Amino acid sequence: MIRFPGSTRSEQSNSENGALPELRSTRQQCNPKGFGMTTAAVQPVPALAGPPDPDLVRIRDLVYQVAGIFHPDNKLRLLFDRCGRRMKELKTSSFREYFECLTIKPTRQTELIALLNEITIGETCFFRNLPQLDALRQIVIPKIVEAKSKLPIRRLRIWSAGCSTGEEPYTLSMLLLEEAHRGLKDWTIEILATDLNERSLAHAKNAIYGTYSTRNLTPYYRQKYFTPAAEQLQVHPGGGATAGPPLRSQLYHLQSAESLR
Q: Which residues contact 113 (CB under 8 A, 6 or more apart)?
A: 198, 256, 258
Higher pLDDT residue, 122 or 31? 122
**Do residues 123 and 40 touch, judged by C-beta distance below 8 A?**
yes
> Which of 96, 119, 142 is a domain's end point?
119
- Using the 3D structure, point to which of 85, 119, 153 is the last residue of a domain: 119
**Minimum mean pLDDT among 38-47, 132-141, 152-161: which range?**
38-47
pLDDT tens-digit series, residues 243-259: 344 455 445 455 554 44
Closest CA to 187 of 248, 107, 245: 245
pLDDT of residue 91: 94
At 48-82, the pLDDT tens digits run: 666 889 999 999 999 999 888 899 988 899 899 99
Higher pLDDT, 19 or 51: 51
Does any domain span residue 44? no
Considering the domain architecture, whether residues 255 and 151 belong to the same structural domain is answered as yes
Q: Give one DSSP letter per residue of 111-160, joined into a string.
A: HHHHHHHHH------SSB-HHHHHHIIIIIHHHHHHHHTTSSS-EEEEEE
For the chain, the domain total comes to: 2
Contact 164, 33 (CB under 8 A): no
